[in-house]
């Protein structure tokens, strides 16, 4: 099943790339992050066997359990909200923390990375739609934090992460992704080294790719629905 689903998702990504109407600063390749939250570690192993090396997890504890079994394989993304008291564990476990969503968390990650003598790659998570139930920098707070980024000496800002609202009509997500790409372009003017724009999940990744995403985070379309009874 996973092999067939993977082929379908990869085809949809390629088709979305072909529908772009302009050359994007994010390039013409898209990284697929397999979101394995609430799935057993066997799903991670099967993904790796099929060549999907980017693994996404929402929770530190679940990632810790899986990495105990798969310690040295894959490139691990944290895509869920991170509490500051788990920053140290997150820095140990994850190659890329996509959900850096507040100045308080940036400070905690910077401190933890310094203690571990690590340059921690991060994305700044934006809450473009201003959804109260979601974390992320509101645009005015994001604009305020950009000039301070160099003060976090142990963090390497690689780009931005955006989550669009869940909409019945996926076209309703397009303005959010357009704004995410605009923010990326503005940040790249200030910080030419940034290169990553993570936007789009199972229900809307095709629109995100059309609008400039070069990372998509896909779980259900690959693995089916999750068993949320495993949440702690």
pLDDT at position 94: 98
Q: What is the pTM (predicted TM-score) of this model?
A: 0.95
32 closest CA partner among 16, 50, 15, 55? 55
Distance between CA atoms of 128 and 151, rounded to whole angstroms?
24
* In the chain, where the domains are located: 2-219
How confident is the prediction along the chain (232 residues), in pLDDT tens digits per residue?
Answer: 999 999 999 999 999 999 999 999 999 999 999 999 999 999 999 999 999 999 999 999 999 999 999 989 999 999 999 999 999 999 999 999 999 999 999 999 999 999 999 999 999 999 999 999 899 999 999 999 999 999 999 999 999 999 999 999 999 999 999 999 999 999 999 999 999 999 999 999 999 999 999 999 999 999 998 665 555 4
Which pair of tokens denotes residue 211?
A: 């609008």
pLDDT at position 232: 45
Task: Please answer whether residues 48 and 69 qualify as being in contact, where contact means their C-beta atoms are separated by less than 8 angstroms.
Answer: no
DSSP state letter for 148:
G
Where does 2-219 sit in CATH, by number?
3.20.20.10
Rounded to 5°, angle at Cα 209 from 208 and 210: 90
pLDDT at position 227: 66
How many other CB atoms are found less than 10 A from the CB of residue 111? 16
């Amino acid at each position: 099943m996973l092999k067939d689903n993977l082929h379908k998702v990869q085809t949809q990504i390629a088709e979305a790339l072909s529908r772009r109407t302009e050359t994007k600063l994010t390039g013409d390749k898209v990284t697929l992050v397999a979101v394995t939250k609430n799935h057993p570690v066997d799903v991670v192993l099967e993904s790796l066997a099929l060549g999907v090396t980017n693994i996404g997890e929402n929770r530190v504890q679940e990632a810790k359990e899986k990495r105990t079994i798969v310690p040295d394989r894959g490139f691990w993304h944290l895509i869920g909200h991170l509490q500051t008291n788990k920053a140290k564990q997150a820095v140990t476990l994850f190659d890329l923390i996509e959900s850096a969503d507040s100045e308080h968390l940036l400070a905690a990650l910077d401190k933890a990375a310094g203690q571990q003598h690590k340059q921690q790659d991060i994305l700044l998570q934006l809450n473009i739609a201003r959804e109260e139930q979601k974390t992320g920098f509101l645009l005015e707070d994001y604009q305020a934090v950009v000039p301070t980024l160099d003060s976090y000496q142990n963090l390497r800002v690689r780009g931005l992460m955006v989550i669009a609202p869940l909409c019945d009509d996926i076209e309703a997500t397009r303005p959010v992704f357009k704004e995410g790409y605009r923010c990326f372009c503005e940040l790249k003017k200030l910080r030419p080294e940034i290169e990553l724009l993570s936007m789009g999940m199972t229900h809307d990744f095709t629109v995100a790719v059309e609008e400039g995403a070069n990372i998509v985070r896909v779980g259900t379309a690959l693995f089916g629905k999750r068993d949320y009874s495993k949440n702690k």
